[in-house]
Amino acid sequence: MAFNSIEYAILFLTAFSLFWLLHNRPKTRMLVLLVASYIFYASWVPKYLLLIILSSTVDYLTGGAIYKTDKNWQRKILLSVSIIINLGILAIFKYFNFFAVEFSNLMGTFGMEVTPWHLKFLLPVGISFYTFQSLSYTIDIYKKQLEPAKYYYQYLLFVSFFPQLVAGPIVRAKTLLPQFLLKPRLSADRGSAAIFLIATGLVKKVVIADYLGAHLVDPVFSNPAMYSSVEALMGAYAYAFQIYADFSAYSDIAIGSAALLGFEIPINFNAPYTASNLRDFWQRWHISLSTWLRDYLYIPMGGSKKGSIRTYINLALTMVIGGLWHGASLTFLFWGAIHGAALIATRFIQRHKITSKIPVKIQKALGVFLTFNVVTAAWVFFRAPDFNVAKELFKTIGKFDMSTVNLSTPALLILLGALIIHWTPQKFITFTRQTFSKLPSFIQAILVLAAIIAASRLASAQVAPFIYFQF
């Protein structure tokens, strides 16, 4: 049940209507959202609903037990139970087959033939997202930064809250849990801003992400050798904007949907391709994941407080694990390694002030150009099904064949439009949203309908799933 489907619209409108009818009854309105969330998740593979209930129950019980005891050994055991069960489920469903194959390949290098044992099941949608979200609850209680959920069903809802369940943002318990107990409020301005966010998210998904994917990215990555250098390069750039438009569209719709229900979810993107270095990029891209990795992995490993060499090791490990979080593939690991190496280089340059003699404006322009191209090069490994395809694409780019016969004008215009929109100043975007909010309701409805109709003309016959559903 994708956000850009009729089924989701029906589910959301039903939940929205019941929620506000029962807004004065906190327990009942939470149960309405919980049922809607479980229906939403079960729409993919119903039996996997048991996994999210199991994970939620384990963390609810261990979190409460951690809070009640002051004995460090008991607290550590309880936290370990939470971590082992959560990561164990994630490892079995997402990584077992990957490591089985790699172990078989490793044994093959020593002349030993080992047939990998495969587990035959589909990857549960959003398992990486809700696992990290639930884990942060028990860790924060262990660190004495959070009190446990008041009600069991309140915690079940926190883990499964359907607007951001399958692709984030990864919301911390201290941000969302208390909101479930507060009386929800929805002003006209806030409702208009939410609708604006949802509408722009749908347009980004259909007009930019899906169109670039179908008409430029997918053809180039399916067989890079068939295209010229310019066409292959445009395919790589198009994927950079496809994945941004696709993922940020999901976040926009999630944040807007939650806002219509009276809840605030933090932003997940902030014009990442305007970043002047890789550190800046990760403060703008998938913010909920980057801050999670920082707070629960990088800092506990020592962060930057144990010398330069240890800092570089911590950066590399954090990003490699971040790559593995995205998928069970060597290409994802390599993608993470590229970002780890780039972050190390960024930290080295900043600490040694290597660019201090370069004028600030030139530093900024050069930094943005290099950062975007490093990120795009890394995206090639993220998108390519294997290293051979990635290698072929870079080889094609290196041929310096300038033919553009396979580049369609509409695809290039949309790519250019995506670039312009991305670089549009935030002040203008805020002004546009505020202007929309001040318009009469019937004018807002006409504009939203017009945007949907325009987007539908560019939409493919089959609804394209969001890219991050696979993680």
User: Cα torsion at 429, 434, 438, 443 (round to 10°)?
Assistant: 20
Q: pLDDT tens, 356-386?
A: 778 888 889 999 999 999 999 999 999 999 9
Amino acid, res. 93: F
* Residues of the chain predicted below pLDDT 50: 461
For every residue of 314-379, DSSP letters joined together read HHHHHHHHHHHHH-SSHHHHHHHHHHHHHHHHHHHHHHHTTTTTS-HHHHHHHHHHHHHHHHHHHH
What is the reported pLDDT for 189? Answer: 85
Beta-carbon neighbour count of residue 226 at 10 Å?
13
Cβ pair 3, 250 in contact under 8 A: yes
What is the reported pLDDT for 36? Answer: 96
What is the reported pLDDT for 102? Answer: 66
H/E stretch holding 229 reads: helix 229-260
Cβ pair 241, 208 in contact under 8 A: yes
**Which token pair is 42?**
């079960």
**Which token pair is 358?**
């370069």
Cβ pair 316, 341 in contact under 8 A: yes
Residue 433: which of 418, 419, 450, 448 has the closest Cα?
448
The active-site residue, picked from 215, 286, 326, 339, is 326
What is the reported pLDDT for 103? Answer: 64
Cβ pair 283, 181 in contact under 8 A: no
Cis status, amide bond into 272, omega within 30 of 0? no
Residues 6+ apart with CB under 8 A from 159: 52, 55, 56, 59, 130, 133, 134
What is the reported pLDDT for 106? Answer: 63
What is the reported pLDDT for 463? Answer: 60
Cβ pair 312, 320 in contact under 8 A: no
Percentages helix, strand, coil for the chain (3-state, rounded to 5) are: 75, 0, 25
Cβ pair 315, 344 in contact under 8 A: yes
Amino acid, res. 423: W
Q: Is 326 a catalytic residue?
A: yes
pTM for the whole structure:
0.91
Domain positions in the chain are 6-184, 189-458
Cβ pair 30, 177 in contact under 8 A: no
Residues 6+ apart with CB under 8 A from 184: 19, 20, 23, 29, 261, 262, 263
422-446 as b/e: b if 16+ CB within 10 A: beeeeeeeeeebeebbeeeeeebee
Residue 402: which of 235, 239, 232, 225 has the closest Cα?
232
What is the reported pLDDT for 460? Answer: 58
Q: pLDDT tens, 165-196?
A: 888 799 999 999 999 999 998 888 888 889 99
Question: How far is it, in rounded angstroms, from Cα 407 to Cα 216?
Answer: 8
**Which token pair is 311?**
């800092």
Residue 459: which of 206, 204, 199 has the closest Cα?
206
**Which token pair is 419?**
């670039």
Give the distance, in angstroms, between the CA of residue 84 and the centroid of all CA atoms in the same chain: 24
Cβ pair 126, 55 in contact under 8 A: no
Q: Up-side HSE of residue 34: CA atoms within 13 Å toward CB?
A: 19
